[in-house]
Amino acid sequence: MFWPFKKNRTGKVRLGIIGMGNIGKLHADYLLAGRVSRCELTAICTSSPEKQKVYAAHGLKIFSDHETLLKSGVIDAVVICTPHYQHPALGIAAFQAGVHVLMEKPIAAHKADAARLIAAHRRKRKIVFAAMFQMRAEPRFRIMRKLIRDGALGKIVRVNWINTDWFRTEAYYASGGWRATWRGEGGGVLLNQCLHNLDALQWLCGMPRRVRGFCQLGHFHKIEVEDNVTAYLEWANGATGAFISSTGEAPGTNRLEIAGTLGRLVLENNKLTFTRNVTDMIRFSKMAKEGFVKPDARTEEIRYENAERPHAIITQNFVDAILDGEKLIAPGAEGIHSLELANAITFSSLKDGVIELPMSGATWAKKLRQLGRKSKRKR
């Protein structure tokens, strides 16, 4: 058991939320509805008088600065839902205050800051540090991961993810001065929308060895960061892949295809299909006596139930890790992987060349500072 709090004898984790924008409100809604057991939302931190009034009506403690909240003694854990650049400083402050952390994605705006956050957590081992990568809690991705891990797909040879159903309007980007700016957000569709997909990609297939990104900045919107992306990925075993995303394409597509020597998994329109080769394709190629034949295959649909409230599942796992030492579904330190992929794809495009992984976090941080000096971020 990781529980370090002597004042709280309720047997529940007292949870606070820092940042009450769209995602902060989502977390507050399911917590106030009692969707997470052995957990109580006790406090929120926001500078908005209107939001303070709303949540005070629910009987919550209201704070306007994070330091006072973290030192208040009314919370045992915190969900951090602020703009990206604030995540490392807030996480480190929580660790130092002895408060467990569930960090919204991304865990930082760039790899160097993420490494600093992770290093700070290593010095506070009894503190639970989790990341909000709720796609790991969804049955469809858990099934795919098990099939890959069990060898049902054979050796992975190709991965393609067309992920263009992140459509956003100009009104969305105008909703916050920090949005879609180098200084305020640190990136665009890759860092904001696609972190979940990039996390799932590396969780399923491992980290690529090299990437080549092609990013269009402000292609569909009046923004300074990327909103249209095509990336080439290459793994150490020779597998290759493509990752395509956009916030300006409608109706958009979400199709993930993973091909291996023993078959192909396709996830599209909430339908998961597995086409199984009767024989490994490489072995079949070597043994075949004819030139225009291929292995027999059969296609089956894999049924699954959609996860209800996957965010709440990750939060429940976080609470259970605090109280019982349960293994985390999404450890906070693993948040650096999807962040590195997002950073590397963008950096590759800007420098017009391939990025070898692991990439230099310091080099990208320096480039990001240069971009930030020309940023149009509003207060």
pLDDT digit string (tens) for 43-57? Answer: 999 999 999 999 999
Of 9, 11, 4, 13, residue with least CA distance to 318: 13
Q: What pLDDT shows up at residue 377?
A: 58
Residue keyed to tokens 């760039």: 110
Contact (Cβ atoms closer than 8 angstroms) between residue 228 and residue 250:
no
CA dihedral (323, 328, 329, 333) positive or negative:
positive
Q: How many CB atoms lie within 10 A of CB 90?
A: 22
Of 138, 66, 129, residue with least CA distance to 304: 138
Q: What pLDDT shows up at residue 307?
A: 86
Q: What pLDDT shows up at residue 176?
A: 81
pLDDT digit string (tens) for 223-274? Answer: 999 999 999 999 999 999 999 999 999 999 999 999 999 999 999 999 999 9
Q: What pLDDT shows up at residue 10?
A: 66
Q: In what order do the strands lie in the sheet with 254-260?
A: 297-302, 271-277, 263-268, 254-260, 156-163, 240-246, 226-234, 210-217, 355-356
Q: What pLDDT shows up at residue 216?
A: 98
Q: What pLDDT shows up at residue 205?
A: 98
Residues 6+ apart with CB under 8 A from 97: 70, 71
Pairing verdict, β 77-80 and 100-103: parallel
- Would you state the torsion angle of the CA atoms of residues 309, 314, 319, 321, taken in this order, to the nearest 10 degrees? 150
Q: What pLDDT shows up at residue 263?
A: 98
Q: What pLDDT shows up at residue 161?
A: 98
Q: Taking the CA of residue 115 as centre, how many other CA atoms within 13 Å lie in the half-sphere pointing to its CB?
A: 11
Q: Cα 274 to chain center, whole Å?
A: 25
Q: What pLDDT shows up at residue 6?
A: 42
Residues 6+ apart with CB under 8 A from 326: 317, 320
* Euclidean distance between CA atoms 297 and 284, whole angstroms: 12
* Euclidean distance between CA atoms 59 and 123, whole angstroms: 35
Q: What pLDDT shows up at residue 8?
A: 52
Q: In what order do the strands lie in the sheet with 129-131?
A: 61-63, 39-45, 13-18, 77-80, 100-103, 129-131
Q: Between helices 22-32 and 310-324, what is the axis angle to 10°?
A: 70
pLDDT digit string (tens) for 94-136? Answer: 999 999 999 999 999 999 999 999 999 999 989 999 999 999 9
> Low-confidence residues of the chain, pLDDT below 50?
1-7, 379
Q: What pLDDT shows up at residue 122?
A: 97
DSSP single-letter state for residue 117: H
